[in-house]
């Protein structure tokens, strides 16, 4: 039994217990009201935190993919700026055998053809620079699977799969967009374990130095000329690898910084590559006529346009379209003709308007790359 001290209240002259000064607790109703208010506050805070987390994740995803796109774009510009042809002058003969560059009927040991004399000097290179619509440039391009443009060139990039310490050795390099699944790019332990992802990807063509055959004397010259437009060192896909996902468009526009070339009318784009197609090794002039300005010459400059979407946009598109390619930019008809300065800017505006209408997060990277080895001679 506990006893509580008592004291005398001077106003009433009687004893009072100190128990009367002990504060009473909360009622059940007050506790329930406080818990309800606290629950509402926690719900609001959790929703705010969830929204902040989703916004953060979305922002990180966008920055990550756009950063990867920027990185690949910078690498492509750096490699392109080193493109070379090693152009030189040589005789062109008006008659003779399969080789219009020698007075022999065929082969180096054949007898010289009587009466064959050199007609003129022409520019020539065993290398090639070619760009334009993928369907026109890549042998066997697969319709909507290869939208946009393709670009192939040679540059001293120093890559070899068998040798080392070859910093200035020559390589074939190229870039193009391809739509498809990633099953063939996965390591063996993931095959069949993870659902295949269908994406647009930027593909990089990289031919090792030891696989270049353009200097092989055993190749007949007529066959060699025919192979110029085919990149015949092997199928393009055999030497290609994906370097970035969600690259939905690549467009290439060769141009000259001058406003007129050779006294002709027009601007630097329309006179260098009027239909966005440029082939430095086009042999058509060998059958007659003068050598065109683009023959065996690098363009002075190339403007690149690359369109990137983020991963969440790609996921949403895949959910809506399955494995279909709903962002085939070839359907717009942009960068396919009228390669003038005005036409280029109009196509770029149309491209951006279309991407906005698709409700996707995207970036359009553009840059003009000066080719340091260009010796443009109009």
**What is the tens place of the pLDDT at every residue in 300-339?**
999 999 999 988 888 887 777 655 556 889 888 999 988 8
Residue 259's pLDDT is 45
The two three-digit tokens of residue 361, written as one number: 């997060």
pTM of the model: 0.78
Question: CB within 8 A of 377, min separation 6: which ones?
Answer: 123, 297
128 vs 228: CA distance, rounded Å:
7
Residue 360's pLDDT is 86
Residue 327's pLDDT is 81
The alpha-helical segments, DSSP class H, found in the chain are: 28-80, 134-137, 221-227, 268-272, 311-321, 341-357
Residue 96's pLDDT is 47
pLDDT tens, the chain, 378 aa long: 554 555 455 555 555 555 555 556 778 888 888 899 999 999 888 888 888 877 776 666 666 668 888 999 999 999 999 999 989 998 887 654 556 777 665 555 555 666 677 778 888 888 889 999 998 888 777 667 889 999 999 999 988 888 877 888 899 899 999 988 887 777 777 666 777 888 899 999 988 888 887 666 665 555 555 555 545 445 677 788 999 999 999 999 999 875 444 434 457 888 889 899 999 988 777 776 788 888 999 999 999 999 999 888 888 877 776 555 568 898 889 999 888 888 999 999 999 999 998 888 899 999 999 999 998 865
Residue 265's pLDDT is 47
Q: Which position has the token pair 């070379």?
A: 84
> pLDDT by residue (tens digit) across 19-43?
555 556 778 888 888 899 999 999 8
Nearest to 363 by CA among 47, 21, 66, 115: 66
The two three-digit tokens of residue 316, written as one number: 């949403």
> By the 8 A CB rule, do 248 and 329 touch?
yes
Return the DSSP state at 284. G
129 vs 150: CA distance, rounded Å:
11
Return the DSSP state at 326. T
Residue 10's pLDDT is 55
Reported residue count of the chain is: 378
Phi, psi of 194 (to 5 degrees): -125, 140
Residue 261's pLDDT is 44
**3 state SS of 189:** helix
């Amino acid at each position: 039994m506990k006893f509580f001290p008592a004291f005398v209240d001077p106003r009433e002259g009687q004893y009072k217990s100190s128990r009367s000064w002990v504060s009473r607790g909360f009622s059940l109703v007050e506790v329930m009201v406080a818990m309800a208010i606290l629950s509402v506050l926690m719900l609001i805070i959790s929703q705010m935190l969830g929204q902040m987390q989703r916004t953060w994740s979305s922002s990180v995803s966008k920055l990550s993919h756009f950063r990867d796109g920027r990185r690949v774009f910078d690498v492509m510009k750096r490699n392109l700026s080193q493109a070379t042809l090693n152009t030189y002058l040589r005789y062109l003969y008006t008659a003779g055998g399969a080789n219009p560059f020698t007075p022999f009927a065929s082969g180096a040991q054949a007898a010289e053809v009587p009466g064959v004399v050199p007609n003129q000097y022409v520019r020539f290179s065993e290398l090639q620079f070619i760009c334009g619509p993928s369907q026109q440039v890549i042998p066997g391009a697969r319709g909507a699977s290869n939208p946009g443009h393709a670009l192939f060139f040679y540059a001293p990039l120093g890559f070899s799969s068998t040798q080392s310490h070859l910093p200035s050795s020559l390589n074939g390099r190229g870039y193009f967009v391809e739509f498809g699944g990633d099953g063939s790019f996965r390591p063996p332990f993931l095959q069949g374990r993870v659902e295949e992802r269908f994406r647009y990807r930027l593909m990089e063509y990289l031919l090792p130095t030891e696989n270049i055959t353009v200097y092989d004397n055993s190749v007949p010259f007529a066959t060699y000329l025919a192979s110029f437009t085919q990149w015949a060192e092997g199928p393009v896909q055999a030497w290609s690898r994906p370097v970035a996902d969600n690259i939905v468009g690549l467009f290439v526009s060769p141009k000259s910084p001058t406003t007129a070339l050779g006294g002709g009318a027009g601007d630097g784009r329309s006179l260098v590559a009027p239909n966005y197609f440029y082939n430095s090794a086009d042999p058509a002039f060998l059958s007659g006529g003068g050598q065109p300005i683009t023959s065996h010459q690098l363009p002075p400059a190339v403007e690149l346009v690359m369109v990137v979407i983020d991963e969440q946009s790609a996921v949403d598109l895949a959910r809506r379209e399955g494995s279909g390619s709903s962002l085939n930019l070839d359907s717009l008809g942009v960068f396919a003709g009228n390669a003038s300065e005005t036409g280029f800017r109009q196509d770029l505006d149309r491209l951006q308007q279309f991407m906005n209408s698709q409700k996707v997060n995207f970036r359009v990277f553009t840059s003009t790359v000066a080719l340091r080895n260009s010796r443009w001679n109009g």
